[in-house]
Amino acid sequence: MHKFGYALITISFLVGAYLVSLDEYSVQWGIYVPFLVVGFVGIALIRISSKKKTHSKETFNENIAVLEDSLSKLISNLKMLDEHKDEFNVYSFHEKIDELLIDDINKFVEARKTISHVYNLQIYADVMSDFAGGERYVNRIWSASVDGYIDEVHEYIGKAMFQFKEAETKLLKAKNDASNLPGDNLKIAET
């Protein structure tokens, strides 16, 4: 359905462009409008196909695993940085952040919408509030490293780790609470 939608959009665009180029002063609206509608149908088919894929059980389960794994790696990498913070040159600390944290932050952000689909908006808001706080502290560490403020780098490692731990705790609590409910907690995927 996805490819068919793109084919309709392509046909609509090509025919529409051809019809518009036939006469520089007028457009043959009687022929142009039906092909415009064909393009809109293509867009609708792509959106429907994408929504089905995005709201599938498999996608939800994969994204929940990505969210948990990303938070776990962020916490463990921050813990390692905290334990070895005196061994790193303050001016190279931002390189360690880029190396150890950025990929997991990006993976979490890509999968974050699943939280509201699987659990609810309040849990999404709670988890994302803590995650965003941790991300802000990571950005602060990065900036302090570039500017050479070693005390600030050391201070905000613990703060970032705390925020990510809070996000992880809330996410795991939501998962545990949902698994204690009778039936499947991914009912939204079936609708």
Three-state SS for the chain is CHHHHHHHHHHHHHHHHHHHHHCCCCCCHHHHHHHHHHHHHHHHHHHHHHHHHHCCHHHHHHHHHHHHHHHHHHHHHHHHHHHCHHHCCHHHHHHHHHHHCHHHHHHHHHHCHHHHHHCCHHHHHHHHHHHHHHHHHHHHHHHHHHHCCHHHHHHHHHHHHHHHHHHHHHHHHHHHHHHCCCCCCCHHHHC
Q: State the pLDDT at residue 181.
A: 54
- Residues 26, 31, 36, 39, CA torsion sign: negative
Report whether pLDDT(186) > 70. Answer: no
The model's pLDDT over 22-63, given as tens digits with 9 standing for 90+, comes to 887 888 888 888 988 999 998 998 888 776 666 677 888 899
- What is d(CA 53, CA 5) in angstroms, rounded to the nearest whole number? 15
Q: What is the pLDDT of residue 88?
A: 87
Q: 2-25 pLDDT, tens per residue? A: 788 889 889 989 988 888 888 878
Which CATH fold topology does 57-190 show?
A: Four Helix Bundle (Hemerythrin (Met), subunit A) (1.20.120)
Residue 36 tokens read as 């415009």
Q: How many CA atoms lie within 13 A of 178 on its CB side?
A: 19
Q: Is pLDDT above 80 for 139?
A: yes
pLDDT at 187 over 50: no
pLDDT of 53 reads: 63
* Token pair belonging to 74: 């962020």
Q: What is the pLDDT of residue 55?
A: 64
How far is Cα 132 from Cα 186, in angstroms, rounded to an integer? 25
Residue spans per domain, the chain: 2-54, 57-190
Q: What is the pLDDT of residues 62-115, one digit of tens each?
A: 999 999 999 999 999 999 999 998 898 889 889 999 999 999 999 999 999 889
pTM across the whole model: 0.69
